[in-house]
């Protein structure tokens, strides 16, 4: 088959979506399929790489001040050219598309015109995540409609957990889901025990509103009262960067640092030296769960 992957983020730009899509592309190519990737020009600090058997087509986009493709203007800078890139190239047998929902909506429209199926990667429920950043009913309604449009137009969908698939069902999705589970790039992130151990905790990745990563600052403050000499390191990007820095300053934590995203090989060494890595996901508590809490 001819398979086209579509994503605003892809290898070598480090992110969970990048690792997932690169693994899919690699395995499809190994199985003998022709794989094209429609993605973006990576940020200046990472050099483009090409996976054997995979042809990658890159296009410049607008990035936010942290160098990330995140925000309505940034998404549109990818989605609008994408429509023309899909229209004026050889049609694949199937598309695999990564969120945001605006990209999914564009793919549904063009795929419909081309009479081609697509698979949607619904790793998160963007409509629920948007509710953490805005109370605007108009914005939330538009995001939910776009997301359902993207999911319901897909021939199939994949996700990381059964809970996400069930949530889409509750929102009105009719598409069949396959739960792939969580994954990691085990080729890049194998632990190296030869690295000298450092007393530090590392949060690596995106720290946006849906992650609630700032809770680790408070936890680290309490931990440091009885375990001095440790550091807390945030590596990556996200909207919570300023909150993390402000909270650390308020608590007088000079051992907390926020650093920019690094390449996978550099991050692998940092993780190998660290005491532990950290991850979080903010869960919204409904009135029902609040009333059930002790």
Residue 97 tokens, joined = 């598309």
Instruction: Report, as an integer, the average pLDDT of 185-198.
Output: 80
Q: What would the pLDDT profile of 123-153 be if each residue is shown by its tens digit?
A: 888 888 777 777 788 888 898 999 999 999 9
Res 266: pLDDT: 87
Catalogue the long-range contacts made by 258-263 (C-beta closer than 8 Å, 24 or more residues apart): 258/234, 259/233, 259/234, 259/235, 260/45, 260/66, 260/67, 260/235, 260/236, 261/14, 261/45, 261/67, 261/235, 261/236, 261/237, 262/14, 262/235, 263/12, 263/14, 263/46
Instruction: Report, as an integer, the average pLDDT of 265-291.
Output: 76
Q: Are 275 and 201 in contact (CB under 8 A)?
A: yes
Q: What would the pLDDT profile of 224-258 be if each residue is shown by its tens digit?
A: 999 999 999 999 888 888 899 999 999 999 999 99
Residue 292 has pLDDT above 60, yes or no: no
Looking at 29-43, 83-97, 193-207, which range is the least confident one? Answer: 193-207
Confidence at 271, pLDDT banded by 50, 70, 90 = very high
Res 121: pLDDT: 94
Instruction: Report, as an integer, the average pLDDT of 185-203.
Output: 84
Residue 65 has pLDDT above 70, yes or no: yes
- Domains, the chain, ordered by start: 2-179 (3.40.50.2000), 200-278 (3.40.50.2000)
Strand partners for 38? 6, 57
Q: What residues contact residue 239 under an 8 Å CB cut-off, 6+ apart?
A: 70, 133, 207, 208, 209
Residue 270 has pLDDT above 60, yes or no: yes
Q: Are 97 and 7 in contact (CB under 8 A)?
A: yes
Chain position carrying tokens 């054997």: 52
Instruction: Report, as an integer, the average pLDDT of 152-180.
Output: 91
Rg value, the chain, Cα: 20
Residue 163 tokens, joined = 């809970």
Q: Work out the burial of residue 227: count CB atoms within 10 Å of its CB; fewer than 13 is exposed, 13-18 middle, 19 or more buried.
A: exposed
- Specify the pTM: 0.81
Chain position carrying tokens 């429609």: 38
Strand partners for 237? 206
How many alpha carbons fall within 13 Å on the CB side of residue 215? 12
Q: What would the pLDDT profile of 75-126 be if each residue is shown by its tens digit?
A: 999 999 999 999 999 999 999 999 999 999 999 999 999 999 999 999 888 8
Catalogue the long-range contacts made by 196-200 (C-beta closer than 8 Å, 24 or more residues apart): 196/273, 197/273, 197/275, 198/231, 198/273, 198/274, 198/275, 199/229, 199/230, 199/231, 199/275, 200/230, 200/231, 200/232, 200/233, 200/273, 200/274, 200/275
């Amino acid at each position: 088959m001819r398979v086209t992957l579509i994503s605003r983020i892809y290898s070598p730009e480090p992110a969970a979506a990048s690792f997932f899509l690169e693994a899919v592309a690699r395995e499809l190519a190994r199985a003998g399929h022709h794989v094209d990737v429609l993605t973006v020009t990576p940020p200046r600090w990472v050099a483009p790489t090409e996976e054997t058997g995979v042809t990658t087509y890159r296009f410049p986009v607008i990035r936010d001040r942290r160098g990330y493709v995140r925000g309505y203007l940034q998404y549109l800078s990818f989605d609008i050219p994408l429509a023309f890139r899909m229209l004026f190239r050889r049609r694949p047998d199937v598309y695999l598309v990564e969120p945001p929902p605006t990209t999914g909506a564009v793919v549904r429209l063009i795929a419909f015109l081309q009479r081609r199926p697509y698979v949607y990667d619904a790793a998160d429920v963007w409509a629920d995540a948007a509710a953490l950043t805005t109370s605007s009913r108009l914005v939330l309604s538009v995001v939910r409609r776009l997301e359902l449009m993207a999911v319901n137009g897909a021939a199939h969908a994949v996700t990381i957990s059964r809970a996400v698939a069930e949530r889409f069902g509750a929102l009105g999705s009719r598409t069949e889901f396959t739960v792939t589970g969580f994954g990691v790039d085990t080729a890049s992130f194998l632990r190296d025990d030869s690295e000298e151990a450092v007393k530090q905790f590392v949060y690596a990745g995106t720290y946006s509103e849906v992650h609630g990563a700032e809770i680790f600052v408070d936890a680290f403050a309490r931990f440091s009262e009885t375990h001095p000499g440790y550091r807390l390191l945030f590596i990556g990007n996200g909207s919570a960067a300023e909150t993390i820095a402000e909270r650390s300053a308020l608590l007088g934590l000079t051992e907390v640092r926020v650093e920019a995203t690094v390449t996978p090989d550099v991050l692998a060494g940092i993780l190998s030296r660290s005491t532990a890595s950290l991850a979080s996901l903010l869960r919204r508590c409904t009135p029902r769960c609040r009333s059930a809490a002790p």
